[in-house]
Structures are given as structure tokens and as C-alpha cells.
Structure 1
Amino acid sequence: MTPSADDAAHAVHCRLDELLEARGMTLTELAQRVGITLANLSILKNDRARSIRFSTLTAICRTLDCTPGELLILTEEDTH
């Protein structure tokens, strides 16, 4: 199944960089603590993710002591 144009464009921004910096943590350290590959975290961090599992979102939020709304925000314009 080919994704539609609506699926490709989104206005969700991942604030992973800001949250990591505020907590003095590296992406590599987060990957190890959460048990997710560095490549998959990079996709999320660079706003290239098309989806995220609730279990992954939960693990990231617990590790960073944040809420999903602090990690993922809706921007005014499509990022893609």
C-alpha cells in the first residue's frame, strides 16, 4: 500500500534534542536506557518518523521524566 500525500506530511515536531540537552543526556545514552536502536531514535529526533509505538513513547517519557506533550508538539506548518 502506497502512503497518501496526507500520510507523508505532518506538523508534529519531536523535541528530543531539547529534552536531552536539558537533562544532560546523549542520544546514545537514551538509546541504551530505553532499549531502542540509535538509528530509530535518530529518525524520531529528526522528525522523519511516521509513527511511534506507545510502548516506545512510554519508555522515552519515563526515562526523560516528561510527558508525551513535552516530547511531541504540533507546529503551525508541515515539516515535510
Structure 2
Amino acid sequence: MTLTELAQRVGLTPANLAVFKNGRARAIRFSTLSALCTVLDCQPGELLTHHHDDTDHGRVSW
């Protein structure tokens, strides 16, 4: 599936989806996470990873 097709199915612009893809997202709405999981038939833990960082108390990336 292309990034454009995924964005359409989830209800985001390709530019906003690219922010997640490139690891630059600072937050995500639960509704967006839920839509991604529905379209991709996965669980949130399959999309997110946690990285401990003493300066900002951790960070979640895609």
C-alpha cells in the first residue's frame, strides 16, 4: 500500500502521515492511532517503540 493510499484510508494528508513515518511526530490522537491499526490490521505496540531519554523523560517513535 502506498503512503498516499494509507493516508486516504486513515483520513490524514500524506504530509501529516509522513511526519509519523519520519519519526518527527510529537503526539498522536488516539483516534488516529486507532484508524491506523484498523487499516493496517495491527496493534498499537506494532507501530510504536519507546526510547528512554534522560533529557525528556522518554520518547515514542514510529
Global fold match (TM > 0.5): yes
Structure whose alpha-carbon radius of gyration is higher = 1
Q: Give the fraction of aligned pairs with identical amino acids, expressed as a percent.
A: 65
Q: How far apart are 1:75 and its partner, in Å?
A: 4.0
Q: What TM-score comes out, normalization by structure 1 length? A: 0.62
Higher helix share: 1
Q: Number of matched residues?
A: 55
Could you list the runs of 5+ residues in structure 2 that have no partner in the other structure?
54-58
Could you list the runs of 5+ residues in structure 1 that have no partner in the other structure?
1-24
For 1:27 and 1:76, locate their aligned partners in 2 and report how far apart those are by CA, in whole Å: 28
For 2:34 and 2:16, locate their aligned partners in 1 and report how far apart those are by CA, in whole Å: 15
Q: What TM-score comes out, normalization by structure 2 length? A: 0.79
Moved over 3 A (4+): 75-79
Q: Does 1:39 align with 2:26?
A: no
